[in-house]
A and B are shown apart, each in its own frame.
Chain A
């Protein structure tokens, strides 16, 4: 009994170590005074200062946040509409096909999604002259495309768990179908939409592959910037940047947890 207790404790420790030791290392080395990222040279916050003076990093971070917020919002709107259509409008023609196709961006390799979107943008440019330059708009469209699938799946499963007679009751009491969507359906799926938005935001912030395909000169997202810097060797200010991102995500997760706990 005691032996098996010690065994599972050890396994737990290994598991958490596996997950968190790399992150802790990044945080520790971000306070490293040495110019060489892998040798400890005393405590310092100089890399944070340098990071804030680095316009390239700040531009990339700002671009990433703008893209993430815009594409998450668009994906939530489109994904909710798709989820509603799949869960509520009966067995319309081609529903099974539509339902299978909506999830395909989730299983499609990112390289293929990126490549196909690039081809689309290039041929669009040849035909219509838009987009003249690839950058914010093309990356946003690309991110919306693949993250709306996630929102649609989340919203649909929430709707499937929701009692359909709620909407019928509202209609029975005189609510016209569109009114009922705003009075009953949307307030009840709001948590799913929030979850979908957050997921889409994270996916967009995280994406390197698709963004690399559809971005143009002078428009590097944060992951693209970090990746290009690391190719030339790990520099200490990247550690500082990573630490800031970890802090940002942790605060976000904590806030979301507190918010859901208060509601329950």
Chain B
């Protein structure tokens, strides 16, 4: 059920350019919050905009909702230019981070508000409200006020209220940030389920990379008002195009070095910190002598006490500097002779009470060239 990169829009074909953001810039005084951004989002996609605080993601979302007008550029939704339309005339609804439930209205009245403002017939409103209440499983709470609900219930009321008008696009501002961890995991699946059922295009803004990975078909990683990379969760995680993306999503080990040879699909990089040449698959146009970084995810590195066979991969020797047991996996910090510390994550496949490695153990770490990425900037 969970949407992921292998299954765009849950199997439905993505209709391209449902939302077209063209060269949008937003300045507040001297500060440029969003800097010449262009993006296409397909119909039925669950799209995430991921970035740290102050990266401009919320401003972009508010421009989609109509609360901010772009300084330059245009926004089109389903072929209609909405750049200058006020929020109450857009085919877009938003779920706010604070949920923004009207405290003086019951759950029922909150959910009905959008249709009431559209002047829908009473019978239509009643039917739609019932439909929404059963979608979010809050039938028993219809007469309650928001103050009498739990955090998770409030979140579902906010979702129902934003969905009742069947918007072309639903905007979600940090939809799970206010929930505790267990509830968050449950709600993630619920959200993707509802998205699948309704077929509405979701645009999620979040600072939580895990949330973005599990929810979305595609992710745009944003920093300082610009997109660094747009792609499926897998592309963004496995093939980060910049140092920022590599470090923002998950943890990664990086080795600075200079290109010594460029082969057909591989580059050889001389790296002082590693004490040897590193080999990686190059996806960039590199020349000999270029300064680059080789990046490897901790879970792509194997650690062993015995010397591994030379199978063309990278083999380094080091000492276990620190280790941490997390239950499902263990983390090791391996110090190389040059002083560089490499993080390694390994699955605890076998059950054992004794440690497989101890502090100060001499170990080998290895990875395949396929697992390493070359970062240019």
The answer to whether A174 and B96 touch across the interface, beta carbons within 8 angstroms, is no
The answer to whether B96 and A173 touch across the interface, beta carbons within 8 angstroms, is no
The answer to whether A176 and B88 touch across the interface, beta carbons within 8 angstroms, is yes
The answer to whether B103 and A172 touch across the interface, beta carbons within 8 angstroms, is no
Q: Nearest Cβ in chain A — how far from B30, in angstroms?
A: 15
Using known A-B contacts A165-B96, A168-B96, A169-B94, determine if residue A174 contacts B102 with beta carbons closer than 8 Å.
Answer: no
Tell me, yes or no, whether A166 is within 8 Å of chain B by CB: yes
CA–CA, A183 to B117, complex, Å?
10
> B117: nearest residue on chain A (CB-CB)?
A174
The answer to whether A165 and B93 touch across the interface, beta carbons within 8 angstroms, is no
Tell me, yes or no, whether A188 is within 8 Å of chain B by CB: yes
The answer to whether A163 and B165 touch across the interface, beta carbons within 8 angstroms, is no
Tell me, yes or no, whether B100 is within 8 Å of chain A by CB: yes
Using known A-B contacts A173-B113, A173-B114, determine if residue A163 contacts B93 with beta carbons closer than 8 Å.
Answer: no
Among A166, A174, A188, the most chain B Cβ lie within 10 Å of the Cβ of A174
The answer to whether A165 and B118 touch across the interface, beta carbons within 8 angstroms, is no
Contacts of B92 in A (CB 8 A): 172
Tell me, yes or no, whether B65 is within 8 Å of chain A by CB: yes
Using known A-B contacts A165-B96, A166-B100, A188-B103, determine if residue A172 contacts B65 with beta carbons closer than 8 Å.
Answer: yes
Contacts of B113 in A (CB 8 A): 170, 173, 175, 183
CA–CA, A188 to B113, complex, Å?
16
The answer to whether B102 and A170 touch across the interface, beta carbons within 8 angstroms, is yes
Contacts of A179 in B (CB 8 A): 117
Contact bitstring A161-202, B, C-beta under 8 A = 1, else 0: 001011011111111100100011001100000000000000
Q: Nearest Cβ in chain B — how far from A82, in angstroms?
A: 23
CA–CA, A256 to B66, complex, Å?
42
Tell me, yes or no, whether B67 is within 8 Å of chain A by CB: yes
Tell me, yes or no, whether B313 is within 8 Å of chain A by CB: no
Tell me, yes or no, whether B104 is within 8 Å of chain A by CB: yes
The answer to whether B104 and A187 touch across the interface, beta carbons within 8 angstroms, is yes
Q: Nearest Cβ in chain A — how far from B99, in angstroms?
A: 8
> B86: nearest residue on chain A (CB-CB)?
A171
The answer to whether B88 and A175 touch across the interface, beta carbons within 8 angstroms, is yes
Q: Nearest Cβ in chain A — how far from B128, in angstroms?
A: 13
The answer to whether B104 and A163 touch across the interface, beta carbons within 8 angstroms, is no
The answer to whether B114 and A174 touch across the interface, beta carbons within 8 angstroms, is yes
Q: Nearest Cβ in chain A — how far from B4, in angstroms?
A: 29
**What residues make up the interface of B, taking CB atoms closer than 8 Å to A?**
65-67, 86-88, 92-94, 96-98, 100, 102-104, 113-114, 117-118, 161-162, 165
Q: List 6 A-B contacts (CB under 8 A).
A: A173-B162, A173-B165, A174-B117, A176-B88, A183-B102, A188-B104
